[in-house]
Amino acid sequence: MDNKQKPYSILFVEDEKEIRDNYTKYLKRHFLNVYEAVDGEEGYSIYKNKKPNIMIVDINLPKLNGLDLVKRIRENDQNTKVIMLTAYSNTNYLLEAVELKLVKYLIKPISRDELKKALDLAVLEFSKFDVKSKKVINLEDEFVWSYTNEEMLHNGVEVLFTNKEKQIIKLLLLNPNIVFTYEEIIDDVWENSEDNKLNPLKTIIKNIRKKLPKDTIKNIFGVGYKF
C-alpha cells in the first residue's frame, strides 16, 4: 500500500479508544474516507448510512459483538471487505469467522505491518473483482468515463471539466451509490479551507450537471450528493 490515498471508504469498529485513535489516524493517511465506531450497534448504524467498502471489526465489542455485527451485514451484503481483530486464538471463534467471508482474521496485538498486509489484500480483491477496477464505466447517452486517463468522453470526444469539477466527479464515480455529505466533498476539494464553501460547491455541481446526462448526480436534500 503506497502513500497515495486509496479511493475506498473504511469503517473501524473498536471500543478501545487508544487503539481506535491510533489506527484511524494511520488509515486517514491512506484512504479517502475513514469512519469509526465504539460498539457494534453504532458500527451497524454507520455501515447502513455510509456503506463503507472495507470494515475493520474487533470481535469483542459492547452491545453487539463483532461476529454478530458481520453476520447481520452478510445477510444482504457479500461485497463489503471485512478484516476481523480479536484477542482470542480460540478455534471456535476462528471457525465461526471463516463462515463470514473475511479478508483476514488478525490476533491482537497487531502491528501496522500486519494491518497493512490485510488492507492490501482487501484492495487487491477490489482490483480483481470490483467495478472500480474496470478501465471504463459507461453512462447514459454515450458518455464514458475512463479510469486510466481520468477523463469523460461523449461520443469519443473529451468533455472538459475544471480541476475542481473533475475532483468531485472522481470522488463520486469511484464510490457509486454512496452519499457524500456536503462537508465530506468540501473537505476533499478545498483542503483546510475555513471559509463556507457550500454555495461554491452547489455552483460547481450545477456546472457539472450541465455537461452530463440528466440525473447523473443526485442531490440528497439536506445531506449531500451521490452518483
Instruction: List all residues 6 or more positions away from 77 whose beta carbon is below 8 Å from its beta carbon.
Output: none
* Number of domains observed in the structure of the chain: 2
Enclosing domain of residue 83: 6-131
Q: Are residues 33 and 121 in the same domain?
A: yes
Q: Residue 45 belongs to a domain with what CATH number?
A: 3.40.50.2300
pTM over 0.85: no
Alpha helices (runs of H) in the chain, residue ranges in sequence order:
17-28, 40-50, 66-74, 91-98, 112-129, 163-173, 182-189, 198-211
Alpha-carbon distance of 201 to 189, in angstroms, equals: 9
Alpha-carbon distance of 220 to 197, in angstroms, equals: 18
Chain segment 31-47, per-residue pLDDT in tens: 878 999 999 999 999 99
Alpha-carbon distance of 211 to 188, in angstroms, equals: 21
In a domain, 16, yes or no: yes
How would you class 144 by CB atoms within 10 Å of its CB: exposed for 0-12, middle for 13-18, buried for 19 or more?
Answer: middle
Q: Residue 150 belongs to a domain with what CATH number?
A: 1.10.10.10
- More confident site: 205 or 129: 205
Chain segment 97-107, per-residue pLDDT in tens: 666 788 888 88
Q: Pick from 83, 128, 121, 125: which is nearest to 102 by CA?
A: 83
The last residue of one of the domains, among 131, 158, 190, is: 131
The last residue of one of the domains, among 74, 102, 131, is: 131
Q: In the chain, count of helices (H) and strands (E)? A: 8, 12
Q: Are residues 217 and 160 in the same domain?
A: yes
Chain segment 159-194, per-residue pLDDT in tens: 999 999 998 888 888 776 788 888 888 888 886 666
Lowest mean pLDDT among 84-88, 123-127, 153-157, 167-171: 123-127
